[in-house]
Each structure stands twice: as C-alpha cells, then as structure tokens.
A and B are shown apart, each in its own frame.
Chain A
C-alpha cells in the first residue's frame, strides 16, 4: 500500500491530491511503525507527518500554484539514478538481521542493559521516555534547541519580512513598493 501511494504521488499532477496522498502515506507508515512495536515513533509520524505537515503544505499551496507543470525532459537519467540507489539500498538490507530476530544487534547491544537498569534507577515504566529524557538528556536538549532554532528561522524568514514591509509602507520616503 505504501508503494501504491508513493506511485500515485509521483503520477498525480494536481498538487492538492499529492499533498493529501502524502498525508495518507504518513498515516500508512505510522501503521507500519505500530506493527513493528515502535509506538512512540508511530505517534510522532501520525501527528507530524499526517497532521501538521499536511496543513503546512496546504498553506504553501495556497500561496503558490495548485498544479504541477509537465516537463518535456526525458526521465531516463533520473530513473537510472533512482534504480541504482534503490538497488544499493536493497543490497544493504540483505545484511540486516530479519525482523524480530533475537540475536540482532538492537536486542543484544545496549538495549538489555537499559531495560535492566531503568526499573530501579529511573522507576518509569515507559523505557523510551526514560532513555530520551534521562540517559539521553543532552541529546533531547539538543533536539529541543533544533526545534527552537527552526522555529526562529521560519519566523525570521517569513514574519520578519512582513514587519519590514509594513515599515516600508509606513515610511513614504523609502517607497512602499514591496
């Protein structure tokens, strides 16, 4: 189903449909994460991918064109690049342990250590939260800082422009041409 949605996104010319389909794609991948027991990730994917980013894309669509321009260029080279990259990725997955295998690195490396320590060191039932906020506190602080920086960046790029333009309009000498 993910593949079908992705193909539909590529083939469709109406950007409105593309945005909706990419929301569907996010929701489907959230379901995939649930199947793989990564509930926290699924949560984020469903809320961010299917919810907020779809709304932001629609907001962008309202500002720009609503249908994709068709190109005359041949698609052989891009197709080749995609095929080669895809083949390399598939080749890479051959070495990965199969899903749910008990001696996979994910199961035997630091995982058991955390699972053993969390109940008596942190005492929080959700191991993901314990690792994120406590053992990996610095990383999460960094992530928060990234979100902060991204927000500030968007504000400077978009809202900052607006206030400057408004000032220009207020001041007749600089000319309110913008």
Chain B
C-alpha cells in the first residue's frame, strides 16, 4: 500500500480519533450509549485499520501478538476477579456494593466501570487476535487482484 498516499494520511489522522472515541465509549458507557463490548470493537477496529493500511508487520510492532494473547485472558480475569473480590469481602458474587461498603451506589458505579473494562479488554484482544490469525495466513495480494 505504499502508493496510497491519501489512505495513509487519512488513516494517520483517524486512528488517534478512533482510539479516543473507543476510550470515551468505554469509560462514559454508564452515562451515554455504549460500554465494554462496543468500546472493545471500536478499539480493535482502530488497530485493524492501521494494520490494513500500514501492513500487518507494523501493527504487530505496535500491539505484539503475545500481548494480545495475554490480554484475552486478562479481561476475563478482571471480570471474574471482581466477583471473587466481592465474595472475599463478604458479599454475594459480583455484588459491586463490596467495592465501597459505605456507599453501595458508588460501589455499583465502580463495579460497572471495572467490569466493563474487563469486557473491553477481552473484546479488543479477541478481535485483534482473530484479525491477526486471518491476516497472517493471507497471501499478499496486489491491488489489481481485487
């Protein structure tokens, strides 16, 4: 894709905005539409568009596969760990009131944030991992082949 100047410039401009938007959807999910799933997918789309335009090699330097694989598990661990924490604190599994015993409402708020973060991490990592898995197998096509 060396000669696609417009695509490269626009992608460079867009990728940052996409990540910013993903973070907004992630952490503002309890006030506006969105949440972990959506944010994760948008974040992954950012990496994928970067990979599409600047080749797989470059995106693998930015977000190496070993990190992606660890993050897949980390997200689920964060989610399940929140539940374990509330168990240990003497509440029911995934009862977020455990996170702020004196303000159950705040606890719910924190709990939702943490859990959504877990969801977001797993979804991002899975999407990127699936993309890597498909793209690393693909033979390099010249633009005329399409």
Measured CB to CB, the residues of A under 8 A from B are 16, 39-40, 43-44, 47-48, 51-52, 55-56, 59-60, 62-63, 66, 120-126, 128-130, 132-134, 137-138, 140-141, 143-145, 147-148, 150-152, 154-155, 158-159, 162
Cross-chain contact A148 with B38 (CB below 8 angstroms): no
For residue B73, which residues in chain A have a CB less than 8 angstroms away from its CB? 148
For residue B17, which residues in chain A have a CB less than 8 angstroms away from its CB? none
The 10 closest A-B pairs by CB, nearest first: A151-B126, A59-B134, A39-B33, A158-B133, A137-B94, A47-B41, A62-B138, A124-B30, A123-B105, A133-B112
Cross-chain contact A130 with B112 (CB below 8 angstroms): yes
Cross-chain contact B129 with A151 (CB below 8 angstroms): yes
> Looking at the complex, which one of A51, A63, A126, A159 makes contact with B45 (CB distance below 8 Å)?
A51
- B15 at interface (Cβ–Cβ under 8 A)? no
Cross-chain contact B116 with A129 (CB below 8 angstroms): yes
Measured CB to CB, the residues of B under 8 A from A are 25, 29-35, 37-38, 41-42, 44-45, 48, 52, 69, 72-73, 75-76, 79-80, 83, 93-94, 96, 104-106, 108-109, 111-112, 115-116, 118-119, 122-123, 125-127, 129-139, 141, 145-146
User: Whole-angstrom distance from the CB of A148 to the nearest CB of chain B?
Assistant: 5
- Docked pose: A177 CA to B123 CA in angstroms: 36
- Docked pose: A143 CA to B118 CA in angstroms: 12
Q: Which residue, of A56, A62, A137, has the highest number of chain B Cβ atoms within 10 A?
A: A137
For residue B106, which residues in chain A have a CB less than 8 angstroms away from its CB? 123
Main secondary structure, interface of B, reads helix
Cross-chain contact A162 with B72 (CB below 8 angstroms): no
User: Whole-angstrom distance from the CB of B109 to the nearest CB of chain A?
Assistant: 6
Cross-chain contact B133 with A155 (CB below 8 angstroms): yes
User: Whole-angstrom distance from the CB of A77 to the nearest CB of chain B?
Assistant: 34
A-B contact pairs, 22 of them (CB 8 A): A43-B25, A43-B38, A44-B37, A44-B41, A48-B41, A52-B41, A55-B131, A62-B141, A63-B138, A121-B108, A125-B31, A126-B32, A133-B111, A133-B112, A134-B108, A137-B115, A138-B94, A147-B126, A150-B126, A151-B125, A154-B130, A158-B133
For residue B105, which residues in chain A have a CB less than 8 angstroms away from its CB? 120-123
Cross-chain contact A126 with B38 (CB below 8 angstroms): no
Other A-B pairs beyond A128-B33, A148-B73, 5, CB < 8 Å: A47-B45, A129-B30, A129-B116, A148-B75, A155-B133
